[in-house]
Amino acid sequence: MFQPKFKIQMKKLVLLSFMALAIITTSKAQNEIDALLAAGVKNAERFANDYLAPGTDGLMHSMNANWFNTADVKPLGGFEISIVANASTIKDDHQSFLMNIAEYNSDPDQDFLVTFSDASASKSVSTALGENNPDIDMVITYDDPILGQQQETITLPNGIGSETSNLLPTAFIQGAIGLSSGIELKARFVPKIDTDEVDFSMYGAGLQIEFTKWLPADKVLPVAISGLVAYTHLDGSYDLTESSGISGSNQRLENDTNTWLLQLIASTKLPVINFYGGLGFISGKSESDLLGSYTISSGPLLSETITDPFSVSSKVSAVRGTIGTKLKLGFFRLNAEYHLSEFNAFSVGLNFGFR
């Protein structure tokens, strides 16, 4: 059943998810993405999945940068503390998707009609990383039992557009300590964020093994070769109770993201400036759930409460190439690197420690 006159304002869905992911902490406007519930839960889920996937995919690439800055692992007791900033680059094809209106009228039980305001069969519309310029309106036509045929117009949401200079950033604190037999243990985290609206945490662990440490000529080799396996977990919750404007309870958006990185690394072994590179594989899944109860009014006679409306997810499975350089000045190190993959990314790290 269609729910008419449902024009509820809320913060951008991209803001909600990315605040939960500690990526974006400000917004310039609000939109009506929750109003898509008026076009049916299946349609809202279909749109949200296409809209959000490029953002979560880019996040998974960004949060896996700078796991290493050399293939030469630390000796027993050697350690390094790092402050790392990453950013995935947003390409043009990440900023929009083709919305086919026929898919939004495919449910045989649907008793309303979804169209674009200009009657187009399909349009290229903004993802969470793009912008609709000009705005794109979707019209829902339905029969009211009293008023007859009615129409509701919903403006499709914009994404972050050019607000972040086509970059998708992450940042965290990382530590590494050398164990015996050419093994180095790594860990990274973001200090926990827990406010009235946002609850967020991110952590990861990695193990790097240098194969050249097992060779008799290790001390005289000009290069080091190692392998890395790393896991990263991110979860966040954003309380929608105050911002959704919809009657209900326990309204929130939750995200759970898990990734794995497998990487082969090679680097030089020079006193001051070194160069490193590698070939790796990223695998991950991000799940976002719109939870709670939402009571949608359809006039003075009818209403409907929707509980836990939908869940959307995206997966990445991509090869990644890495090139980088590292400058060592005593206890202080500085590194910069670039990754080539589905989402290209660059990263810089400020490192302190000793070998």
Give one DSSP letter per residue of 156-193, joined into a string: PPP--TTTTTTEEEEEEEEEEEE-STTEEEEEEEEEEE
State CA 342 to chain mean position distance.
Answer: 14
Q: CA–CA distance from 37 to each of 186, 238, 307 (Å)?
A: 43, 19, 12
> What was the pLDDT predicted at 61?
93
**Torsion angle, CA of 168/54/284/45, rounded to 10 degrees?**
130
> What was the pLDDT predicted at 298?
45
Range from 5-14, 229-238, 315-324 that averages highest in pLDDT: 315-324
Classify 136 as helix, strand or coil: coil
Q: In this model, does residue 5 exceed pLDDT 50?
A: no
DSSP designation for 220: G
> What was the pLDDT predicted at 350?
96
Q: What is the pLDDT of residues 48-72, one digit of tens each?
A: 899 889 988 998 999 999 999 999 9
> What was the pLDDT predicted at 222?
92
> What was the pLDDT predicted at 48?
87
- What are the DSSP E strand ranges found in the chain? 10-11, 30-31, 79-89, 96-100, 113-116, 122-126, 137-144, 148-155, 167-178, 183-194, 198-210, 223-239, 247-268, 273-297, 303-307, 310-329, 332-340, 345-354
Tokens of residue 251, six digits: 């309204």
Q: In this model, does residue 192 exceed pLDDT 90?
A: no
Q: What is the pLDDT of residues 213-235, one digit of tens each?
A: 999 877 888 999 999 999 999 99
- State the alpha helices, DSSP H only, in the chain: 13-20, 41-62
> What was the pLDDT predicted at 297?
60
Half-sphere exposure of 150 (CA within 13 A, CB side): 14
d(CA 299, CA 172): 49
What integer is the mean pLDDT of 246-258? 86
Let me know if 155 is exposed, middle or buried by CB neighbors in 10 A (0-12, 13-18, 19+).
middle
Average pLDDT score, the chain = 83
> What was the pLDDT predicted at 303?
67
| Residue 334 near residue 352 (C-beta atoms within 8 A) | no
Q: What is the pLDDT of residues 113-166, one digit of tens each?
A: 899 999 999 999 999 888 898 999 988 888 877 777 878 788 888 887 756 668
Q: In this model, does residue 28 exceed pLDDT 50?
A: no
Q: In this structure, are strands 96-100 and 10-11 parallel, antiparallel, or unpaired?
A: unpaired
Classify 46 as helix, strand or coil: helix
pLDDT more than 70, % of the chain: 85
- 98 strand-pairing partners: 124
State CA 322 to chain mean position distance.
Answer: 20
> What was the pLDDT predicted at 25?
29
Let me know if 354 is exposed, middle or buried by CB neighbors in 10 A (0-12, 13-18, 19+).
exposed
